[in-house]
Structure 1
Amino acid sequence: MERRKYGNTDMEVSVLGFGGAEIGFQQATPQQVEKLLGSALDAGLNVIDTAECYNISEELIGQTVGHRRDDFYLFTKCGHASGFDLPDWTPAMLEQSIDRSLKRLKTEFVDVIHLHGCSEELLRRGEVIEVLQRAKEQGKTRYIGYSGDHKAALYAIECGAFDSLETSVSIADQEAIELTIPEAAKRGMGVVVKRPIANAAWKTGSKPENAYAHTYWDRLSELKYDFLQADLKESVGTALRFTLSVPGVQTAIVGTANPDRWLENAKLLEGGPLPQELYNAIRARWKEVAAAEWVGQG
């Protein structure tokens, strides 16, 4: 598994990471997660990303691979109360959330804590950033970051406070390729991409049941990429390789509760970066079709 230097940090990250949302929301069993993450770590995975609001995701990760903490970089997020009797984004809640995440994950520190979709207005006020800075000073996290898209993400980059950016990039979500990632790269920030295959919104040939993917389905219906007519594995591989071919991207996190899926996705990357001609064609089609309101999806 290829590894890339993560911005100006000391981390060398696997290009394919793991996103913990689905194991939490689908309430995967510890046995499923142990098989999924254990086999992935053995195959070269070294980035696991989760969040405070992904149901039981943090607990499952801590329970199943906490004993292998030295084998991977651990990212989590904070911002949503999710069980606390306190408003979102208040400093007291953020501090409690970070401590709870460490307890759930069975670790003394995480490698990155990202602010989870924080608005530009809150970022400008500064209190939420100060909470993360204190957590870093206290050794609860090695680096701090922002997770989000569009203009709030651009402000987070330009304010100079963060080491890491987590943002959406895919064949159906390309705003960040010009708006934020070049600036993040210029400033030496690590870049982790979420939703890198646009939830494979095309996989059934009809609008997905999951409303989260409807925006991607609608966009892809207009983009009409030829390669989406290929075998599903081939089209998913093309989509994933496109995202990882974007300059400035170091790792892409794909979420699954299927114990075999991470290994299957890893095999799709064996062909290496997407051929430049195909990458350019996907970018050109986006620029031709994308509407002004097709902004990054959170």
Structure 2
Amino acid sequence: MEKRQYGNTGMNVSILGFGGAEIGFQGATVEQAGRLLGSALDAGLNVIDTAECYDSSEELIGKAVSHRRDDFYLFTKCGHASGFDLPDWNPMLLEQSIDRSLRRLQTDYIDVIHLHSCSEELLRQGDVIDVLMRAKEKGKTRLIGYSGDHKAALYAVRSGKFDSLETSINIADSEAIELTVPEAAKQGMGVVAKRPIANVAWKTGKKPEDRYQHTYWERLEKLDYDFLHGDLRNSVRTALRFTLSVPGVHTAIVGTAKTDRWLENAKLLNDGLLSGDEYREIRSRWKEKAAADWVGQG
């Protein structure tokens, strides 16, 4: 699988990464997680992304693939209490959450710890950033990052404190392409695209039951890309190739709890990225149709 240099971090990451939310929220077993992650690693994936609030995800990853720790870069997030009797974003909570993540993931260090979508106000106060910087100094993490969107993400990037940005980029969520990704490139930051296929919100042709997908469904109704009206597999291929064609994006995390799904997603990239004309057509459609309030979705 193609690798890209992750900003100025010294890491070479696979263009597809594994998103760990689904295995946690959907109650995968250790055996299922082992087969899924093992097959992904064998196929060349080397980025596994998770978070403290993805239910059992961290524990599953630790039990399933900690014995292959040298085969992948491990990203997690902190910020939500998720079982601790402390308020979100409390500095003590962040410290305890990081230590718990290390135990759950069965590792001595994490490659990137991202602050999990906190507000610009909290970033400006500085305490939350200080916790991550101390974790980096102590060797608990190699790099620190911010996971989020819109103005908070822009502040995080411009602060010069972070090595990595994880942000929403897809055919229904393109604010970051102009707002933050070019700034991240100037700072030498690595960039992870989350939600890279827009949750395939169009897949049934009807408004999804999951409210989490409603914003993307409504945007795609207005964008009305031609490729969404054809074969579903081809439309997903185009959507994924678009996200990975964005200048400055290094890897895109795709989540699944189904063993064969990740390999299917990898095959979607057999034809490479979009041509310049294909990419510009999608960007032109966005610029023509997007409303001023179509900001990045967390």
Same fold, TM-score > 0.5, yes or no = yes
**Residue 32 of structure 1, CA deviation:** 1.3
Residue in structure 1 matched with residue 92 of structure 2 by the alignment: 92
- Give the Cα separation in 1 of the matches to 2:233 and 2:62: 31
Residues 118-156 of structure 1, C-alpha deviations (whole Å, 9 max, x = no match): 100000000000000000000000000000000000000
- Give the Cα separation in 2 of the matches to 1:212 and 1:266: 25
Name the count of aligned residue pairs: 298
Residue in structure 2 matched with residue 197 of structure 1 by the alignment: 197
Residue in structure 1 matched with residue 167 of structure 2 by the alignment: 167
Residue in structure 2 matched with residue 281 of structure 1 by the alignment: 281
- Give the Cα separation in 2 of the matches to 1:108 and 1:289: 47
Matched letter for residue 197 of structure 1: I
- Give the Cα separation in 1 of the matches to 2:195 and 2:118: 18
**Residue 232 of structure 1, CA deviation:** 1.0
Residue in structure 1 matched with residue 29 of structure 2 by the alignment: 29
- Give the Cα separation in 1 of the matches to 2:137 and 2:123: 19
% identity of equivalent residues: 77
Q: Secondary structure at the match of 2:246?
A: coil
Any unmatched runs of 5+ in structure 1?
none
4+ residue stretches of structure 1 with deviation over 4 A?
Answer: none
- Give the Cα separation in 2 of the matches to 1:31 and 1:234: 31
Residue in structure 2 matched with residue 271 of structure 1 by the alignment: 271
**Residue 42 of structure 1, CA deviation:** 0.1
Q: Secondary structure at the match of 2:146?
A: strand
When normalised by structure 2's length, the TM-score is 0.99
- Give the Cα separation in 2 of the matches to 1:109 and 1:229: 45
Q: Secondary structure at the match of 1:191?
A: strand
Matched letter for residue 113 of structure 1: I
Q: Secondary structure at the match of 1:22?
A: helix
**Residue 246 of structure 1, CA deviation:** 0.2
Any unmatched runs of 5+ in structure 2?
none
- Give the Cα separation in 2 of the matches to 1:35 and 1:207: 33
Residue in structure 1 matched with residue 148 of structure 2 by the alignment: 148
- Give the Cα separation in 1 of the matches to 2:233 and 2:66: 32
Quick check: 1:110 aligned with 2:110? yes
Residues 232-283 of structure 1, C-alpha deviations (whole Å, 9 max, x = no match): 1111010000000000000000011111111000000111111111110100
- 1:1-298 mapped onto 2 (5 Å cutoff): 1-298=1-298
Residues 170-207 of structure 1, C-alpha deviations (whole Å, 9 max, x = no match): 00000000000000001100000100000000011111
Matched letter for residue 192 of structure 2: V
- Give the Cα separation in 2 of the matches to 1:63 and 1:232: 34
**Residue 295 of structure 1, CA deviation:** 0.2
- Give the Cα separation in 2 of the matches to 1:290 and 1:159: 28
- Give the Cα separation in 2 of the matches to 1:249 and 1:174: 12
Q: Secondary structure at the match of 2:88?
A: coil
Q: Secondary structure at the match of 1:234?
A: helix
- Give the Cα separation in 2 of the matches to 1:208 and 1:269: 26
- Give the Cα separation in 2 of the matches to 1:209 and 1:54: 21
Matched letter for residue 108 of structure 2: E
Residues 186-229 of structure 1, C-alpha deviations (whole Å, 9 max, x = no match): 11000001000000000111111211111000000010000011
Matched letter for residue 121 of structure 2: E
- Give the Cα separation in 2 of the matches to 1:31 and 1:231: 33
